[in-house]
Amino acid sequence: MRINLASVFVDDQDKALRFYTDVLGFVEKHRVPLGGHDWLTVVSPEDPDGTELVLEPNAHPAAKAHQEALTADGIPVNSFAVTDVRAEYERLRALGVRFTLEPVEAGPVTIAVLDDTCGNLIQIAERTGEGQRAKG
């Protein structure tokens, strides 16, 4: 078993697509019109056949309330792995991305938290110490 899809609720799919592709560097995988919204996914260019991130409309009242509550409490909805958090932080800040948490060491990882402009906080994380999993 493996993870095929993960979702992030967004307040505007077009704005989300621009942010997740033009700023974060993901690539569009699928866009299928479904009435008022699209089935819209992005993937890492490093793993185009890997896990897809669905840019899911927050049109349902429960989804919007959940999204707003997490953001208000400063809780990221997802975590994306990066090789160097500090370098990615500087790259994204230069593009105008707002961070709610600057890079900080948190045990075996260094993390930072950014605002995706679509109603979410997203954590970026770099494994830096004990607890790193061997690949293979």
Position 135 scores a pLDDT of: 43
Domains of the chain, earliest start first: 5-127 (3.10.180.10)
pTM for this predicted structure: 0.91
Question: 53 with 8: CB under 8 angstroms?
Answer: yes
Mapped onto helix, strand or coil, the DSSP state of residue 42 is strand
Position 136 scores a pLDDT of: 41
How far apart, in Å, are the Cα atoms of 128 and each of 47, 73, 84, 103?
22, 26, 9, 12
- Torsion sign (Cα): 34, 70, 7, 55: positive
Return the exposure string of 67-84: e unless at least 16 CB atoms fall within 10 Å of the residue's CB, then b.
Answer: beebbeeeebbeebebee
Position 2 scores a pLDDT of: 92
How many angstroms from the chain centroid is the CA of residue 46?
Answer: 15
CA–CA distance, 117 with 18 (Å, rounded to integer): 10
Among 109, 121, 117, smallest CA distance to 75 is for 121
Position 130 scores a pLDDT of: 66
Position 35 scores a pLDDT of: 87
Position 89 scores a pLDDT of: 98
Among 66, 6, 81, 80, smallest CA distance to 41 is for 6
Task: Output the tens digit of pLDDT for each of the chain's 136 residues.
Answer: 999 999 999 999 999 999 999 999 999 999 999 988 999 999 999 999 999 999 999 999 999 999 999 999 999 999 999 999 999 999 999 999 999 999 999 999 999 999 999 999 999 999 997 655 544 4
